[in-house]
Amino acid sequence: MKVKIGSFENFLERLNNIKEEDIIINDENTEEMFSSFLITFYKENEGRYTIQEQEYINNLLNILINKIRDNKNGRNFFSNLLCIHFKSITPYFINVKLKDNIYYIHLLINYILYVLNLVIYIEKENKELSLSLSIGRNIYTLTLYIIR
């Protein structure tokens, strides 16, 4: 039985509340549900995001980065979602119409800071040789998508 996520708020809430056990027990269905929601979101919203959509994207990055840091067993799951994010988001996501909105500018700055935080974390992890081969591949894929 497939469960629908619905809104981006529900997506973020479910993602934030997911536990490693949920990923291990129901890995394929859980990953497919989250992945397909993200892919659909980015297909339907082809860039130039509204303030609310940029808030969602920032919250998504924050949750995923924290989950990758905190979950040893579920790291691949969250890294895959992060790869989907960076692969799917358009490089032209800045909404020029909102350039005079100071709150929107702060959201963009926060987005850049989240990406910087992720890059710093990846750099730190690469220095520690305790990464498994598959996690290492995910990190390099992730780095390529960020640079894009």
- Domain contains 67: yes
The tens digit of pLDDT for each residue in 41-66 reads 988 887 778 899 999 999 999 999 98
- Domain contains 2: no
DSSP per-residue string spanning 51-87: HHHHHHHHHHHHHHHHHHHH-STTHHHHHHHHHHHHH
Token output for 112: 């850049």
Which range marks the domain in which residue 46 is found? 8-147
The residue ranking higher by pLDDT, 86 or 91, is 86
- Domain contains 1: no
The tens digit of pLDDT for each residue in 110-129 reads 998 898 888 888 777 766 54
- Rounded CA separation 111/6 (Å): 24
CB neighbours of 91 closer than 8 A, spacing ≥ 6? 148
pLDDT, the chain, mean: 79
CA atoms within 13 A on the CB side of 27: 8
- Domain contains 57: yes
Longest dimension (CA), the chain: 47
What is the tally of structural domains in the chain?
1
- Domain contains 83: yes
- Say which residue the tokens 């020029």 belong to: 96
Burial of 123 (0-12, 13-18, 19+ CB in 10 A): exposed
- Domain contains 3: no
Whether 106 shows a pLDDT value over 90: the answer reads yes
Q: How far are the Cα atoms of 11, 50, 51, 95, 107 from residue 101, in angstroms, in the given order?
A: 27, 11, 9, 10, 10
- Domain contains 63: yes
